[in-house]
Amino acid sequence: MTTIDHRIDHRIEHWIDGAPAAGVSDLTLPVYDPASGTQIASVRMATASDVDAAVASAAKAFEVWSNTAVSKRSAVLFRFRELLAAGVDELARLVSREHGKVVSDAAGEIARGLEVVEFACGVPQLLKGEYSDEAATGVDVYSFRQPLGVVAGITPFNFPVMVPLWMAPIAIATGNAFVLKPSERDPSASLFLADLWKRAGLPDGVFNVVQGDRTAVDALLTHPDVAAVSFVGSTPIARYIHATATEHRKRVQALGGAKNHAVVLRDADLDQVAAHLAAAAFGAAGERCMAISVAVVEDAVADDLVAALAREARAVKVAPGDEPGADMGPVITRAAVDRIEAIVSEAERDGARVVVDGRGFTVPGHEEGFFVGPTVLDGVARSLRAYEEEIFGPVVAVVRVSGLAEAIQVVNANPYGNGTAIFTSSGEAARTFTREVSVGMVGVNVPIPVPVASHSFGGWKDSLFGENHIYGPDGVHFYTRGKVVTQRWPRQAAATYHFAGDAES
């Protein structure tokens, strides 16, 4: 297995045509350990020429891979799944080192990625078409789906394993070749995955990695041999990805940002709700698109819920990700710390009450680390940046409402529509909520409603650009296109048929 060297002079490279590749440029960016704030490596930046090389390798590999028997493709997926499962601990520690999330969180993201790999292992079932016998006299009609060609995935820092696994296994299983552009902030997981694909028997060139920044992204978006682009990240970038790739006649799925609300009604179990909200808001330091960042609480129980949530927040153990018992690690960069703290300070200045304050948080022995403590804001007006923007940090804002109807209005007025949840004992209230909210993923007494792999993940409104959600049935549809064949085989008058057992004349 590829060993990731984290000496400061180590350069993390690309992966092209089945092997590590230095590329043509010596330009690099630093890779940090967020818990200590120190540089641990550097990552090479791809040029347009490097992207050309990766796409050329993928295009050549596609010619063979797309014509490989579906059962053989599935066998590679099964071997990849076993190798990934065996490497969870090593990969989780690698993610924790570069991202900062606690090892258990990192292992959790790998487990969710494994679900998609397992779904992709069933590709023979997923690609079955339809057949209509004798649609007209002597005419049969059948349909099937074919791969697109070279497809690209542009993935974020917050899930360096899970999000690539939302894309690549389904793209590869359906016969495409894949080029991954991971985040430059935590790039090593991409090479770990590339090595696993190699060991699983995937032909060289079917999975490639180009490290880099906007130069690499733009090269993929405009490359004439890239047929489709998948993206997960912020809404402004998702909008740009969708517009640029669409202009260049590519199929696009671009998942953007979120402002996920949890509605808490008076009949909910508040202690249980507070524990769920704390996990959903502070897990992975709030750096996930399904984090609960707004608690929309019925007035009658708001004071009690805020008190319970404050207790949960103060009990969170913040420490380096590899420390035993740690609940939450640092955020990704010093710039992220500064932005989060500025948003909290603005909210306090404009009337919100800081119930639990995570500003200026330090961990003994890691004073230069990028830490922000769990933060609870109460009385947050919807005009504040703390409500309007995706903070991507361990901050939950409490908004008080009169009841269910107003809560639904609050959720629906928000420009994002990624995920939401309701906590209640009332089936009637839950049913009303799930039917009336304009959000793509809804949890009922479930704080982070990420669908299992046999469904698809995706939001509405400014949280999704494009028609298809990611993974699941939508993923299969996105990475393939349908073809319908109408056929007639005219009877040949001079035809002579011989059947086994017929006597020779």
Catalytic residue among 102, 265, 289, 377: 289
Edge-to-edge strand list for the sheet holding 353-356: 353-356, 375-378, 395-401, 292-298, 260-264, 419-423, 441-444
Please measure the distance between the N-terminal and C-terminal CA atoms of the chain and give it in whole angstroms.
66
Q: How many CB atoms lie within 10 A of CB 322?
A: 15
Alpha-carbon span 80 to 78, nearest angstrom: 5
H helices then E strands: how many in the chain? 16, 23
Find residue 298's DSSP bridge partners: 401
Alpha-carbon span 410 to 412, nearest angstrom: 6
Reference 21, options 61, 57, 60, 62; nearest CA is: 57
What six digits make up the tokens of 99?
């991202």
Handedness of CA 267, 272, 278, 280 (dihedral sign): negative
Alpha carbon 99 to chain centroid distance? 15
Handedness of CA 473, 476, 477, 482 (dihedral sign): negative
Active site residue 121: no
Question: E strand or H helix at 432, and its extent?
Answer: helix 427-436
Catalytic positions, please? 289
